[in-house]
Amino acid sequence: MVTKDQVINSLKDMPDQFSIDELMDKLILLQKIEMGLEQSKKGEVYSTQEAKEMLKQWSK
């Protein structure tokens, strides 16, 4: 989950003028990174070999 402090820091990094789309893109990226870190902590990851096999299947 994203914290209020993370959102505030993201806003501070934005230029003085920006579009809502730019802000939403940044917040979505932040959320996805946090989700990935949580999945990693839970051991919900794929090995390199598993990822390569999945990629082969997807690119057919």
Residues 2-44 have pLDDT tens digits of 999 999 999 999 999 999 999 999 999 999 999 999 999 999 9
Q: What is the pLDDT of residue 35?
A: 96
pTM equals 0.73
Residue 60 pLDDT exceeds 90: no
Q: What is the pLDDT of residue 2?
A: 92
Q: Are the CB atoms for 35 and 29 separated by under 8 Å?
A: no
**Residue 36: its H or E element:** helix 20-41
Length of the chain: 60
Can you tell me the distance from the alpha carbon of 19 to that of 25, in angstroms, rounded to the nearest whole number? 10
